[in-house]
Structures are given as structure tokens and as C-alpha cells.
Amino acid sequence: MTAAQGVLLHPITMGRLLQSLFLLLLLLLDSCLHPAAAFPKGCYPSEEEGLKTFRCSNAQLTEVPRDIPNDTNKLYLDFNQIPFLPRDAFRDLPLLLELDLSHNAIARIETGAFQGLAEHLHSLDLSSNRLVSVSKDAFSNLKAKVNLSNNPWLCDCRLQELIRAVELVAESSGGIVCDSSTQEEHVGKAFLQVIADTDLCNVYKKTTDIAMLVTMFGWFAMVISYLVYYVRQNQEDARRHLEYLKSLPSKQRRSEESSTISTVV
């Protein structure tokens, strides 16, 4: 290569280098201003089996993220530290098919938390959380198959109503175990086994009815006791008054006896 050719190639090489640096700068600027910066740390979008997926697994989240793409079909929020689900937590995700909330710290679910998901959602995983008691209204109109296993459930009428209101994932039903119960003998047993033998809502109703009867009987006994006391007290007062009248002169005694008898009657 001649010196003249080197002089000609040098400006061309420098121009290409500057162009590459400029394009790289644009890419870096775009990445800072657009989608990646909007997602919570540890979350990222992907596509799995043709479905738009958003993964936030093990991202140390303490609440449901707000910046989830609204065309998401599968959402993974498992292995985080989310303590409760507020009303309308997923209202901007009308195309959601699968929702994984397993292995969190969820202890409370507000009514309306899954509002807007009834039409499309077909899988909801709430296993391995801290659920003790949840109203069936929290799952109102939800047609998804639900996994409620491995939670510290209180086995009572409320749980019985919930189980009958949702469709459980078949293989998960054995994992719904009584951590506590209104009846001590149920603790440690699978809940479906318990309600196969006992109607907890009927037991609760009977217990409530008995409590009401006992309360009514107690009030009735108090009223009767008061009436007996009142009558005896009046009789005692009348007896004393009659004895007093006997000690009076006969004419005055007859007049006051008539007054006393009228009062007692």
C-alpha cells in the first residue's frame, strides 16, 4: 500500500468508527429512556409458547408491580415477599391467562383483588403463602382453577364456603390442611376429608343457636328472679306494716288495714 492510499483510507476508517460510536450512543440512550427502565428490578418480559410472559420470580417484591404490560398472558410473581393483594391489583391485565403468586407472604386478599380477570384467567396459584381465612367473595365470578395448598388454614364454615365456591386444581386438594380449627380433632387433617364427614356451617349454626338459647334462658332466669324478689319484698313490707297496725288503736287500725290490703292487692 502506498503512502497516498494510506492517506485516503484513514479518513474513511475514522468516519466509520465515528458512525459506529454514534449508533452505540443512540442504543444506550434508547435503553435508558424506554421499556427496560420501566420494569421493576428483577422483572423482564419474554415469550413462551407463543404467549406474552412477564416474569418477576424471586425479585424481592413487596407489592404487585404496577408497570406490567397490559397484553401479558402469563404473570409470574412467585418467590417474593408480597403480604396482601389489594382491590383491583390486576385490573389492567385483561388478557391474563395464568397468574402465579405462590411462595409469597400473602395473608390477606381484599374483595375485588381479581376483578377484571374472570373472563380469561384459567390458572391461579396461591400455594405456600400465609392464608388463614379468606372470604369467598374475593373469588367472585372467577372461573380459574385455584391452588390453595400449603397455607395455615383455619378450618371453619368460612373456608368450607370458599372451597365450594372455587374450582381447585385437582392434585392440590390434599395440600389444604387444617392448621387450626373450630374443632380440635380436625387439626392436621386434610380439609376435604373433614367436610366429607362434617358440615362445619351446620355445626356453626347449631352452636350459634345453642348460644342464643342459653343467653335467652339466662335473661329469663334473671327476670323471674327479680319478680320473685320483688313479690317477697312487698310481702315482707306488708307483713311488717300489718304488725305495726295491730299495735295501733282499733279504729285507726281498721282504717289503715283496709288501705294496706288494697295496696297489696
Confidence of residue 34 (pLDDT cuts 50, 70, 90): very low
In this prediction, residue 201 carries a pLDDT of: 93
Whether 123 contacts 97, CB under 8 Å: yes
More confident residue, 107 or 214: 107
pLDDT digits (tens, 9 = 90+) for 141-171: 899 999 999 999 999 999 999 999 999 999 9
Confidence of residue 82 (pLDDT cuts 50, 70, 90): very high
Over residues 66-88, the mean pLDDT reads 96
Q: Is 167 helix (H, G, I), strand (E, B) or coil?
A: strand
Question: Which amino acid is located at 4 in the chain?
Answer: A
Whether 182 contacts 156, CB under 8 Å: yes
pLDDT digits (tens, 9 = 90+) for 129-143: 999 999 999 999 899
- Residue 206 CB contacts under 8 Å (≥ 6 apart), including other chains: none
In this prediction, residue 71 carries a pLDDT of: 95
- Choose among 86, 135, 94: nearest CA to 116: 94
Predicted TM-score (pTM) of this structure: 0.65
